[in-house]
A and B are shown apart, each in its own frame.
Chain A
Amino acid sequence: MSSLLEIRNLHAEIGGRKILNGLNLTVQRGEVHAIMGPNGAGKSTLSYVLAGKPGYEVTEGTIAFNGEDVLEMTPEVRASKGLFLAFQYPLEIPGVATMSFLRAAYNAQRRKRGELELSSPDLLKRVREIAKRLEISPEMLRRPLNVGFSGGEKKRNETLQMALLEPRLCVLDETDSGLDIDALKVVASGVNHLRSPERGMVVITHYQRLLDYIVPDVVHVLSAGRIVKTGGKDLALELEATGYAKYQGEAA
Chain B
Amino acid sequence: MAANSVIRAIRTPAELGLADIYAATRSKLPGGARTEATRAAAFNAFAAVGLPNARSEAWKYTDLRRLMQDAKPLASPPAAAERARARGAGAVFAEVDARRLIVIDGFFEPELSDLETLEPGLAIRSAAKALQVDEPLFAHGLGSIVPTYEPTLALNAALAADGVVITIAPGAVLKRPIHIVFVATSQKPEAIYTRSLIVVGTGAVATVLESHEGPGRLEYQANSVLQLVVGEDARVEHIKAIREGRHSLHLGTLLANIGARARFSTFSFVTGGATVRNQVFAHVAGASAVLGIRGVNLLSGHQHADATLAIDHADVGGQSRQLFKSVLDGEARSVFQGKITVRQQAQKTDAKMMARALLLSDKAEADCKPELEIFADDVQCGHGSTTGALDEQLKFYLMARGIPDKEAEALLIQAFAGEAVDAVEHEGARDALMSATREWVSGRG
Interface residues of A (CB under 8 A from B): 51-54, 74-76, 78-80, 85, 87, 90-91, 93-96, 101, 104-106, 108-109, 112, 144, 161, 165
Closest 3 pairs between A and B when the two form their complex, measured CB to CB: A95-B415, A79-B402, A105-B401
Given A54-B392, A76-B404, A104-B407, residue A96 in contact with residue B399 (CB < 8 A) = no
Q: Does B393 contact A (CB under 8 A)?
A: yes
Q: Are the C-beta atoms of B414 and A79 separated by less than 8 Å?
A: no
Q: Are the C-beta atoms of A105 and B403 separated by less than 8 Å?
A: yes
Q: Does B412 contact A (CB under 8 A)?
A: yes
Chain A positions within 8 Å of B419 at CB level: 94-95
Q: Does B397 contact A (CB under 8 A)?
A: yes
- Chain B, Cβ-Cβ closest to A92: B394
Q: Does B440 contact A (CB under 8 A)?
A: no
The contact of A93 among B397, B399, B422, by CB within 8 Å, is B397
Q: Are the C-beta atoms of A85 and B400 separated by less than 8 Å?
A: yes
Residue of B397, B401, B422 contacting most chain A CB atoms (<10 Å): B401
Q: Does B375 contact A (CB under 8 A)?
A: no
A-facing residues in B245-283 (Cβ within 8 Å)? none
Q: Does B405 contact A (CB under 8 A)?
A: yes
- Chain A, Cβ-Cβ closest to B417: A95
Q: Are the C-beta atoms of A93 and B394 separated by less than 8 Å?
A: yes
Given A90-B397, A95-B419, A104-B407, residue A165 in contact with residue B402 (CB < 8 A) = yes
Given A75-B396, A91-B397, residue A80 in contact with residue B415 (CB < 8 A) = no
Q: Are the C-beta atoms of A104 and B415 separated by less than 8 Å?
A: no
A87 to B415, CA, bound (A): 21
Q: Are the C-beta atoms of A87 and B397 separated by less than 8 Å?
A: yes
Shortest CB distance A242–B (Å): 35
A165 to B402, CA, bound (A): 9
Q: Are the C-beta atoms of B401 and A161 separated by less than 8 Å?
A: yes
- Chain A, Cβ-Cβ closest to B418: A95
Chain B positions within 8 Å of A96 at CB level: 411-412, 414-415
Chain B positions within 8 Å of A51 at CB level: 396, 400
Q: Are the C-beta atoms of A74 and B403 separated by less than 8 Å?
A: no
Shortest CB distance A137–B (Å): 21
The contact of B394 among A91, A106, A161, by CB within 8 Å, is A91
- Consensus secondary structure, chain B interface: helix
Shortest CB distance A86–B (Å): 10
Q: Does B416 contact A (CB under 8 A)?
A: yes
Shortest CB distance A154–B (Å): 12
Q: Are the C-beta atoms of B402 and A93 separated by less than 8 Å?
A: no
- 13 A-B pairs within 8 Å (CB atoms) are namely A74-B399, A74-B405, A75-B399, A75-B400, A91-B394, A93-B412, A93-B415, A94-B415, A95-B415, A95-B419, A101-B411, A104-B411, A109-B401
Shortest CB distance B296–A (Å): 12
A105 to B401, CA, bound (A): 6
Chain B positions within 8 Å of A87 at CB level: 397, 400
A243 to B134, CA, bound (A): 90
A85 to B398, CA, bound (A): 11
Q: Are the C-beta atoms of B414 and A95 separated by less than 8 Å?
A: yes
A-facing residues in B364-409 (Cβ within 8 Å)? 392-394, 396-405, 407-408
Chain A positions within 8 Å of B397 at CB level: 87, 90-91, 93
The contact of A108 among B392, B402, B414, B418, by CB within 8 Å, is B402
A16 to B414, CA, bound (A): 35
A12 to B412, CA, bound (A): 29
- Chain B, Cβ-Cβ closest to A48: B396
- Digitize B401-445: 1 where CB-to-A-CB distance is under 8 Å, 0 elsewhere: 111110110011011101100100000000000000000000000
A216 to B414, CA, bound (A): 42
Chain A positions within 8 Å of B393 at CB level: 91
Chain A positions within 8 Å of B414 at CB level: 95-96
Known contacts A53-B400, A91-B397, A109-B401; can you find 9 more A-B pairs with CB under 8 A? A51-B396, A80-B402, A90-B397, A95-B418, A96-B414, A104-B411, A112-B402, A112-B404, A165-B401
Q: Are the C-beta atoms of B396 and A53 separated by less than 8 Å?
A: yes
Chain B positions within 8 Å of A161 at CB level: 401
- Digitize B193-221: 1 where CB-to-A-CB distance is under 8 Å, 0 elsewhere: 00000000000000000000000000000
Q: Are the C-beta atoms of A95 and B399 separated by less than 8 Å?
A: no
Chain B positions within 8 Å of A85 at CB level: 400
Given A54-B392, A91-B393, A91-B397, residue A108 in contact with residue B403 (CB < 8 A) = yes
Q: Are the C-beta atoms of A108 and B396 separated by less than 8 Å?
A: no
Chain B positions within 8 Å of A112 at CB level: 402, 404
A161 to B402, CA, bound (A): 11
Shortest CB distance B424–A (Å): 14
Chain B positions within 8 Å of A94 at CB level: 415, 419
Chain B positions within 8 Å of A144 at CB level: 415
Chain A positions within 8 Å of B415 at CB level: 93-96, 144
Chain A positions within 8 Å of B394 at CB level: 91, 93
A31 to B416, CA, bound (A): 41
Chain A positions within 8 Å of B402 at CB level: 76, 79-80, 105-106, 108-109, 112, 165
- Chain B, Cβ-Cβ closest to A112: B402
A115 to B411, CA, bound (A): 22
A79 to B408, CA, bound (A): 14
A215 to B145, CA, bound (A): 70
Shortest CB distance A202–B (Å): 15
Chain B positions within 8 Å of A79 at CB level: 399-402
- Chain A, Cβ-Cβ closest to B392: A54
A87 to B396, CA, bound (A): 11
Chain B positions within 8 Å of A95 at CB level: 414-416, 418-419, 422
Chain A positions within 8 Å of B416 at CB level: 95
Chain A positions within 8 Å of B412 at CB level: 93, 96
- Chain B, Cβ-Cβ closest to A100: B411
Shortest CB distance A116–B (Å): 15
A127 to B154, CA, bound (A): 59
A95 to B393, CA, bound (A): 16
The contact of A104 among B400, B403, B418, B422, by CB within 8 Å, is B403
A106 to B401, CA, bound (A): 8
- Chain A, Cβ-Cβ closest to B410: A104
A101 to B415, CA, bound (A): 11
A93 to B289, CA, bound (A): 33
Chain B positions within 8 Å of A101 at CB level: 398, 401, 411
Q: Are the C-beta atoms of A108 and B400 separated by less than 8 Å?
A: no
Given A95-B416, A95-B418, residue A108 in contact with residue B411 (CB < 8 A) = no
A139 to B408, CA, bound (A): 24
